[in-house]
Amino acid sequence: MCIAIPAEVVSVDGVSAVVDVYGERFVVSLLAMSEAVEPGDFVALQARYYAVTKIAREEARESRRLLEELFPELVDRARTAGAAAAEAGQ
Amino acid sequence: MPEPRAPPQPKPGNSVDDSPQHAALLGSSPVGLAWPALEQWIRLDAASVDGRLVARTLTSARADGIAGALAGRPVQSVPRLLPQLFPLCGTAHAVAGVAAIEEALGIVASPAELAFRELILLAEHGAALGWRVLMDWAPLIGQPPEAHACGEIRRTAAAVGATASAGAERGHWARIGGTRRRPDRNGLGRTVSEIARRLVDLFPEAADPVLSLGGLERAMQRGASIPARMISGARAGALAEYGRHDRPLLASRTADWFAARLAAEPGFCRAPTLDGIPAEVGPLAAQRHPMVADAVAQWGPTLATRLLAAALDAPVVAQRLQRTLDRLADADPVEVDLARSGCGTGIVETARGPLAYFIEVEGGRAKMLRSVAPTEWNFHPDGPFMAALAAAPRLPDPVLAARLLAASFDPCVPLRIEMAPDDRPPPNAGSAHHA
């Protein structure tokens, strides 16, 4: 089973977007999305490169709270990676 | 109850995956395309020995015990939380979870509610088929992923759920006992017809329902669709005998069968077996299309047969969507007593195979919750994927063959193949040294 951490859309450029997961930022394709997104929205990612499902903001925040509760080490790792990326200027 | 386990961090290595084809869609980017810290994957460590791929270990970096971590929560919150944890296949998790809870509480949802759940499960199944063919298979025959076409199928699948839910409140499809529902049947008819057409178009060579296996094979040899090219390629040369293994096929099992194992064996969730032997699940085992049995008989349980079984799910799901639509009616909730206690099991058939949930409810809370998903069967460390690799004939490109094999077993996370170099000396190294 594949858990999916909601990624926050930072910017949209045509059919791609930059998303943020605890400070880690990635470019993802929006081609497989079933609905339009804008900055501030949350999406689920599949196969690393694709945003596939829009998640209501309150549900996304609840999901993150749940995952932070269940997997604190995982979330800490993501935050560490995000901080390192920010320091490297990404 | 095992604690949820976070996945280990990916390690750099000689990794083989489909990244170049997918990354190419995004062009140059100012931000990272590396493996995210939260990415989940299955890793095959293998070596190239004398021109063969020798599989060493298969490890899963997927978090486990997730569903179990919901134990202790109010039972009515469980079906709502499951799709938040698993949004990529959220319908299957929610429907399996709610079915387990209803059985535990002695609730029988209305036939109309069950038809609704079946319809949205089939829509999610259709979306997964689109991903399988257009996104996973396309790079394996050297063409770019067809993300836009995949998105069209996903949008249509989402529209099926939205149209079928007319008049229902938010979060309705995960409500214990069902809810009041007044679907727009005309609008739903159009949406179901559209997704059915898109699914049939995935594998147009198989659209003729009276086609024989021989006729289909000839049509695939002339065909241009992704499945036709994949399957025809897998029927050629040494690949035609590739993909066989000696593990059993897990045909459909009852809720009682899953309940006995999920309740008694905590390890069953992560490494399920059929009475001690890892087994194959999925389209080849389920044989949802009659031609799959013909292919097993004539081609054997090979890579090509497994790919064919997966591709034939497209016309099967298209037909089932239409049939389920005929059973859809106005639905109303049944009475629910959340204070009851009991155990229940819910099983749904997904694109990859059975997803089963077992729950024990006590005092309005989920006392124990366990689940097992298809990837745990096929990618068991000693399961059918590894057994098929071990039985592989000599192949011109064993790494590509392993990727094809993995695609035929369809893991729900990316498979990374880490190749170690051949550590044996070349055949003439000794004589060269002594020369």
**B67–chain A nearest CA distance, Å:** 10
B255-305 confidence digits (pLDDT tens): 999 999 999 988 999 999 999 999 999 999 999 999 999 999 999 999 999
Residue A72 confidence (pLDDT): 83
For tokens 């396309």, what's the residue?
Answer: B138
Mean pLDDT of chain A: 86
Residue B7: pLDDT band by 50, 70, 90 thresholds?
Answer: very low
**A78–chain B nearest CA distance, Å:** 5
Tell me what the mean pLDDT of segment B32-51 comes to.
74
Judge contact between B375 and B279, C-beta under 8 A: no
| CB-based contact A55 B39, cutoff 8 Å | no
Residue A22 CB neighbour total at 10 angstroms: 23
Q: Which amino acid is at B179?
A: T
Tell me what the mean pLDDT of segment B407-424 comes to.
84
DSSP letter at B36 equals: P
* Coil, helix or strand at residue B331: strand
**A39–chain B nearest CA distance, Å:** 17
Q: Which residues of A touch B60 (CB under 8 A)?
A: none
**What element of type H or E holds A20?**
strand A16-21
Q: Which residues of A touch B85 (CB under 8 A)?
A: 3, 63, 66-67
Residue A22: pLDDT band by 50, 70, 90 thresholds?
Answer: confident
| CB-based contact A1 B6, cutoff 8 Å | no
| CB-based contact B25 A44, cutoff 8 Å | no
Tell me what the mean pLDDT of segment B360-368 comes to.
95
Judge contact between B145 and B131, C-beta under 8 A: no
Give the lowest-confidence range in A76-85, B131-140, B421-430: B421-430
Residue B34 confidence (pLDDT): 44
Residue B37 confidence (pLDDT): 56
Q: Looking at the partner chain, which of B30, B36, B66 has a beta carbon nearest the beta carbon of A70? A: B66
| CB-based contact A2 B155, cutoff 8 Å | no
Q: Which residues of A touch B19 (CB under 8 A)?
A: 48
| CB-based contact B38 A24, cutoff 8 Å | yes
B64: β partners:
B5
Q: Which residues of B touch A63 (CB under 8 A)?
A: 84-85, 87
- What ipTM goes with this model? 0.86
- How remote is the C-alpha of B144 from its chain's centroid? 22
For tokens 């497989």, what's the residue?
Answer: A32
Q: Which residues of B touch A6 (CB under 8 A)?
A: 87
* Coil, helix or strand at residue B7: coil
Q: Which residue of A has its CA nearest to B155?
A: A34
Residue B120 confidence (pLDDT): 94
Residue B12 confidence (pLDDT): 38
Q: Which two tokens mark B263?
A: 């309740």
Q: How far is CA B73 from CA A5, B359, B375, in A?
A: 21, 12, 26
Residue A25 confidence (pLDDT): 85
* Coil, helix or strand at residue A35: coil
Judge contact between B192 and B321, C-beta under 8 A: yes
| CB-based contact B148 A31, cutoff 8 Å | yes
Judge contact between A59 and B66, C-beta under 8 A: no
- How remote is the C-alpha of B87 from its chain's centroid? 14
B67-101 confidence digits (pLDDT tens): 778 889 999 999 988 988 888 888 999 999 999 99
**What element of type H or E holds A43?**
strand A42-46
Residue B170 confidence (pLDDT): 64
Q: Looking at the partner chain, which of B86, B147, B155 has a beta carbon nearest the beta carbon of A34? A: B155
B173-217 confidence digits (pLDDT tens): 778 999 888 888 899 999 999 999 999 999 999 998 889 999 999
Q: Which of A42, A67, A59 is closest to B66 using CA atoms? A: A67
Give the lowest-confidence range in A58-62, B125-129, B239-243: A58-62
B302-341 confidence digits (pLDDT tens): 999 999 999 999 999 999 999 999 999 998 999 999 999 9
Q: Which two tokens mark B178?
A: 């069902």
Residue B197 CB neighbour total at 10 angstroms: 11
Mean pLDDT of chain B: 87
Q: Which two tokens mark B358?
A: 């077992």
Residue B50 confidence (pLDDT): 83
* Coil, helix or strand at residue B228: helix
Residue B297 CB neighbour total at 10 angstroms: 10
Cβ contacts from A onto B, under 8 A: 141
Q: Looking at the partner chain, which of A47, A81, A90 has a beta carbon nearest the beta carbon of B31? A: A90
C-alpha torsion angle, residues B124, B130, B133, B136 (rounded to 10): -70
Q: Which residues of B touch A24 (CB under 8 A)?
A: 32, 36-38
Q: State the Cα–Cα distance between residues B221 and B354, nearest whole angstrom.
A: 32
C-alpha torsion angle, residues B46, B49, B52, B57 (rounded to 10): -20
